[in-house]
Amino acid sequence: MKKTALTLVTGALLAGLAFAGSAFAQDYPTKPITVVVPFAAGGPTDTVARLVAEVMSQDLGQQVVVQNVGGAGGTLGAGQVATAANDGYTLLLHHIGMSTAPTLYRSLPYDPTTDFAPIGLITSVPMTLVAKKDFEPNTLEELITYVKANGENVTYAHAGIGSASQLCGMLFMEAVDTQMTTVPYQGSGPAMTDIIGGQIDMICDQTTNTTSQIQAGEVKAYGVTSSQRLANLPDLPTTAEGGLNLEIGVWHGLYAPAGTDAAIITRLETALQAALVNETVVSRFAELGTYPVTAAEATPDALAQTLASQIELWRAVIEAAGVYAD
Ligand code: ASP
């Protein structure tokens, strides 16, 4: 008898909590939302986040504020969101590094597949091999010969182990079978400043960070990691054209902490979808060598599937390279 009463009370309590939760979700959002970018300001992930956040703010009727939490190749910022309150007010905009970190970091303090609720894919950005403008080699073929001859005397910037620039550099060094000296930054925004300043020789980074510098002649460009040349950089050969087996697209996704109310995720998905068809976002992305994903890809399911398959794909590549952060 006692047991039945207790069950009834517990049931009523749970129902009450669920009702409170969905009422809360209906009002969402009632205050500004923070989107953590796990790299420094001024870099490519930051650029994508700020463009998307601006339109999401308009759609949601609340400020969507970008917060840069750089360090440890994106794992510091991601770790911060993994343990944030799952109330829809702290999100993560990350890239391909979400799928490489579980293999690169053997003691990663979060699990990308269980500690986050995916909201949707955003875009996939090609990468470019670029160097300081007075770097000796002029073509991709010359760059390969130069790196092979000079090895560790060549300095290569990246945004930490787990970043796309580190991944691309690792693949490049494997392809040319030569190690360079790698220099980590909190993001490739500051890395690019040092390439332009001539303190570092080269980097492989998203077109969202390199297109204007290439067009302005502030850096020397050797190749783009897409299968086709880019419309706005028509003279830049693909890496395959230069004889290099290095094709990579840096996909970006938006996440909330795991356990976030499903109604909140749906509301955020709607706002993300609005951002990805916004004229300013579409045209700015195109200027930067990329396009938003389709509506079918800007969904929790598509992001979850991409994340799961990319974790498997990169596990094999990283284990074969034997490169680990710890
Ligand atoms: N492009 C950087 C990377 O290598 C990150 C960034 O600063 O957006 O992953």
- Which of 323, 308, 277 has its CA nearest to residue 122? 277
Q: How many residues does the chain have?
A: 326
pLDDT along the chain (326 residues), means of 10: 46 51 78 98 97 98 98 97 98 98 95 98 98 97 97 97 96 96 97 98 97 97 97 96 94 98 98 98 97 97 98 95 88
Q: What is the pLDDT of residue 22?
A: 61
- Which of 322, 14, 4 has its CA nearest to residue 173? 322
Output the residue whose Cα is nearest ligand 1's atom 2.
Answer: 188
What angle separates helix 75-82 from helix 97-104, to the nearest 10 degrees?
100
Distance 12 CA to ligand 1 centre (A): 49
**Does the CB atom of residue 223 touch ligand 1 within 6 A?**
no
Q: How far is 267 from 249, CA to CA, in rounded Å?
A: 28
**Does the CB atom of residue 293 touch ligand 1 within 6 A?**
no
Phi, psi of 160 (to 5 degrees): 95, 160
Q: What is the pLDDT of residue 23?
A: 57
Side-chain-side CA neighbours of 236 within 13 Å: the count stands at: 28
Q: What is the pLDDT of residue 272?
A: 98
Q: How far is 226 from 297, CA to CA, in rounded Å?
A: 19
Integer CA distances (angstroms), 84 to 23, 53, 78, 87, 265, in order: 21, 19, 10, 9, 15
Q: What is the pLDDT of residue 95?
A: 98
Instruction: Show the DSSP H helices in 70-201 as ranges.
Output: 75-82, 97-104, 140-150, 164-176, 188-196
Name every residue whose Cβ is closer than 8 Å to that of residue 25 and which is 6 or more positions away in sequence. 88, 261, 263, 264, 267
The two beta strands, 90-94 and 33-37, are parallel
**Does the CB atom of residue 273 touch ligand 1 within 6 A?**
no
Which atom, in ligand 1's list, is nearest to the CA of 160?
4
**Does the CB atom of residue 185 touch ligand 1 within 6 A?**
no
Distance 221 CA to ligand 1 centre (A): 17
At 35-58, the pLDDT tens digits run: 999 999 999 999 999 999 999 999
| Structure-token pair, residue 270 | 């709607």
Q: How far is 225 from 248, CA to CA, in rounded Å?
A: 5
